[in-house]
Structure 1
Amino acid sequence: MTSYGSPDAIVHARTAADVAGAIHHARDTGTTLTVRSGGHSVARLSTADDGLLLDVRGLNRIAVLDRSRGLVRIGTGATWGMVAARLAPYGLAVTAGDTASVGVGGLALGGGVGWMVRRYGLAIDAVVGAEVVTADGRVRRVDADHDPDLFWALRGGGGNVGVVTSLDVEAAPVSRVVFGALSYEVQELEGLLRGWRDHLRRSDDRLTSVLALTPATPMGPPRAVVQWCFSEPDEAGASKAVAGLRGIGTVVGDEAAVVPYAEVLEDHEMPDGMGAAMRNALVPDLSDACLDAALALTAQAPTALVLRGLGGAVGWVPSDATAFAHRDAEAMVVAARMAPPGAPVPSLDGPGDDWDAVARHGTGAYVGFLDEAGPQAVASVYPAATYARLAAVKRAYDPGNLFRRTHNVPPAPPADPVRE
């Protein structure tokens, strides 16, 4: 979790009224407003060097509204570990991320790619309503029938159009899952990537898998690991679903167990000051050329390469139903280079690096894994039609661009007046 930075003032909100008060103050005084939930922004948007920082972690109440329907109201200041633990006694779970300490708001507003994404879709696909405070200080409860454009923009558009204080979510009837990991020899990476890709294409939708290649570090040798989650406690079904993964390389480790879903979420923090260069692409077709380009990055400098399987339920939602438009993505390709505190962050744009050779196979990027927030980076997230619609919603609800310390989509300019 990152530090606060050095803002001029911090508001620790406990209610939507606290949020509204902070918004009124920032708007009326022209103060820069930064909103912080879990504090995990790779692009450092959870910290501020000036202005007002609005910390919403106090908005962390989690209430089961209708157990039979799985309807849950989640404060956006809660963490996903808190959510998983609170819902476990009810036999419910929400697929959202893979780290317990990540905040609900920061992850969910960008989409939310979790360990059951192929069975239950993105986190936003379970959202049926929200409470949001807009730039005018008004507390609104929105859903498909009330402020539908705003509701559309909240699901995938980040924090551009307001401060979301709670989400109404239809949780899945999941108590326990089968979770496992396969470790492979690292001399066979080209075949490993292709084998994982081929398995993904014929995979059971109940299975979500992630292939991670990590370089040698002072803490250990290089590793090639596929972690996987089968969204039911069915060991026989899980074993059948992952059987093909055992043949894509030389297996040196094979672990699996039925565990409560809450135990799947990791509980780790990035040390303060740790630097990261990160790129990602949402790819409809993991072609051999795309995989080769991704693997080539690891030859230039120590690079972590992660392939996150998508498809399944992600593609069951129309591309224009939410502000996350990449519904045809087969996988997300992520490349990252890390630096310890105080050391220069290694670039992914150096001599010999060619991230564009990977990105050209994608339809855009996932906002949650962007390491910068400039206009070019933000434009890479949204297809043109989605970006234009977000800009129009922004004009309607935040014409002064108060919520600009985000992966910001500025408000669209006013339409030209009709000339007689």
Structure 2
Amino acid sequence: MTTYELDDLGTTRILLPGDDDYTRASTVFARAGTPAIVVQPVDETEVAAAVDFARDNRFTLSVRGGGHSGGGYGTNDGGVVIDLSQLAGVEVLDGGLVRVGGGATWGSVAARLRDNDLAISSGDTASVGVGGLTLGGGVGWMVREHGLALDQLVEARVVLADGEIVTANEFDNADLFWALRGGGGNFGIVTRFTFQAHHLDGVVAGAIHYEPGDLAALLRGWRDAMREAPVKLNTTFLWTPDFPGMQGGPQIMVCYADSDDEAATAAIAPLLDLGPVTGNTVTASAYAEILAEVHPSEGVRMVNNNAFAADFDDATIDDLAAVFARTPGSVLMVRYLRGAFSLVDPDATAFAHRDSEVLIISAAFFAPDAPDEAVDAYQSTWNSLLPHLHGLYGNFSQFTSDVATPLMFPPTTLARLEAVKTELDPFNLFDQNHNIRPRAVDWR
């Protein structure tokens, strides 16, 4: 690469292998990349110049937001990484609207909004990027009251594959706006999000730990309690092995999205009757303080699966408990949905699995040199649940695009996404994601 070619990027900060900050800017949660160049734009014009540069020089292009990218898509080897970390501002507007830069993290958003008694239902991890999570969904601690993170998005500023900068909302570029809400980073780089925030002056949150026992019975009791619970109560059922510094066994993670202690106590009370309680950390807190931090598992090979269940009925629960019993040492997480999540028409956004009662997630851990047969056995055990399940939540999936994309989107949704992709990115420049392929020939 010549200096003249780099001059095409203007004054944008450029990092090359060996430069300070190169390693940090080219590393994501799942992998350390070795791109030829990392670009750190400070505004949308510089983002557009970087897109033009990558396209014109036929580089693989990755976009790095918060740096989680469970599939490793936020970096690459030998290509260009556009690192959005300099576009991380959070601005509170009138009417509870919040303008957020494409490189911001949800922890910084929650911290900024705390002083205004506002919050946006996001994910549950502070360092996760606003962009990746929102474009793929955003199942957070207020999903039952306010829906997904993408349901609170009212406008996006987007750099397209041809370098054009557009605004997408319900009225302008409406097809793009529809596709962005669930279709991931397939259609452009969002440099600025505008969300509708909600009043929140505090939460009552924590974890209730139970004595290990009959998993199926505990799940049925939890399900029945949540079917009657107010939408302000959001919970996740979790069963883990004993990790260093972390109590294993069954627990229910709780967030009552209000500071009303009396109402919270009444809502949470049925959960305390599900079995012998061995620990209870539920207490009043600020929303910003309950966003957790997750670190990559070192020295192990993690394999995970997830899917939705439209009806978390007894048969599904019994089979799930049997699968968990056959995969000792694995993690089981079940997130309860419904409420506002299910009130959105399945066709209103590209996230279509609105009929779901729960999202089920399973993860197993293997030694790096574990035989493929062991992984295949775990996968086969999980697959026995599939008659009860549907779909896939892409934000939690490490599957490759060929596997993930047909599961993430029903056929009619995928066909509509392919049409938008073909119009806006016909040569698939934005392919480092759970890829939606255009109906065209890829120039690579």
Number of equivalent positions: 411
| Superposition deviation, residue 28 in structure 1 | 0.9
| 8 Å Cα contact 1:277/1:345 also seen in 2 | no
Q: 1:202 to 1:365 in 2, by over 3 A?
A: same
Which ranges in structure 2 are unaligned for 5 or more consecutive residues? Answer: 1-27
CA–CA distance in structure 1, aligned partners of residues 160 and 232 of structure 2: 38
- Note closer, same or farther for the CA distance 1:121–1:352 as it changes in structure 2 (3 Å cut): closer
**CA, structure 1 residues 343+225, in 2 after alignment: closer, same or farther (shift >3 Å)?**
farther
Asked if the contact 1:294/1:305 (under 8 Å) is kept, the reply is: no
Query: Residue 44 and residue 192 in structure 1: after superposition, are their counterparts in 2 closer, same or farther (change >3 A)?
Result: same
Residue 44 of structure 1 corresponds to which residue in structure 2? 72
State the secondary structure of the residue aligned to 2:118.
coil
**Equivalent-residue separation in structure 1 for 2:79 and 2:148 (angstroms):** 33
Post-superposition CA distance 1:358-396 (Å, at most 9, x none): 233233011101112231221110111111110000001
TM-score, scaled relative to structure 1: 0.93
How much does 1:399 deviate?
0.5
Match of residue 147 from structure 2: 121
The 5 A counterparts of 1:150-161 are 150-161=176-187
Aligned to 1:28: 56
1:128-164: CA deviation from partner (whole Å, max 9, x where unpaired) = 0000101010111110100000000000111011111
For 2:157, give the aligned amino acid.
Answer: E
RMSD: 1.9
Mapped to 1, the partners of 2:169 and 2:313 lie a distance apart of 38
What are the equivalent positions in structure 2 for 1:278-357 lying under 5 Å apart? 278-298=304-324, 299-339=326-366, 344=370, 349-350=376-377, 353-357=380-384
1:95 equivalenced with 2:126 (yes/no): no
- 2:169 pairs with 139, 143, 147, which one? 143
Q: What residue number does 1:65 align with? A: 93
Aligned position for 2:24: none
> How far apart, in 1, do the equivalents of 2:116 and 2:248 lie?
40
Q: Distance in 1 between matches of 2:262 and 2:40?
A: 48
Identity of aligned residues (%): 41
Counterpart of 2:122, as a letter, is: A
Whether 2:261 is the aligned partner of 1:235: answer: yes
Question: Are 1:266 and 2:266 counterparts?
Answer: no
Deviations 1:154-190 (A, max 9, x none): 0011101111111100001112111121100112212
Tell me, in whole angstroms, the C-alpha distance in 2 between the residues paired with 1:250 and 1:343.
Answer: 39
- Tell me what 1:211 maps to: 237
Within the candidate set 7, 17, 20, 2:45 is matched to 17
Deviation at 1:221, TM superposition (A): 6.0
What whole-Å deviation, never above 9, does each CA across 1:271-291 have from its counterpart, x for those lacking one?
566542111111110122222
- CA deviation after TM superposition for structure 1 residue 242, in Å: 1.3
Q: Secondary structure of the equivalent of 1:355? A: helix
CA contact (8 A) 2:427 2:440 kept: no
The structure in which a higher percent of residues are helix is: 2
Q: 1:81 to 1:217 in 2, by over 3 A?
A: closer
CA contact (8 A) 1:278 1:348 kept: no
Going from structure 1 to structure 2, the CA distance change for 1:255 and 1:20 (only over 3 Å counts) comes to same
CA contact (8 A) 2:67 2:129 kept: yes
Matched AA of 1:105: G
Q: Match for 2:407 among 377, 380, 393?
A: 380
**Does the residue aligned with 2:364 lie in a helix, a strand or coil?**
strand
In structure 2, the residue matched to 1:418 is none
Q: AA paired with 2:265?
A: S
Structure 2 distance, partners of 1:286, 1:398, is 39
Report matched runs for 1:178-217 at 5 Å: 178-217=204-243
User: Given the alignment of the two structures, is residue 134 of structure 1 paired with residue 147 of structure 2, yes or no?
Assistant: no
Query: Which 10-residue stretch deviates more, 367-376 or 165-174?
Result: 367-376
Q: Which runs of 5+ in 1 are unaligned?
A: 415-420
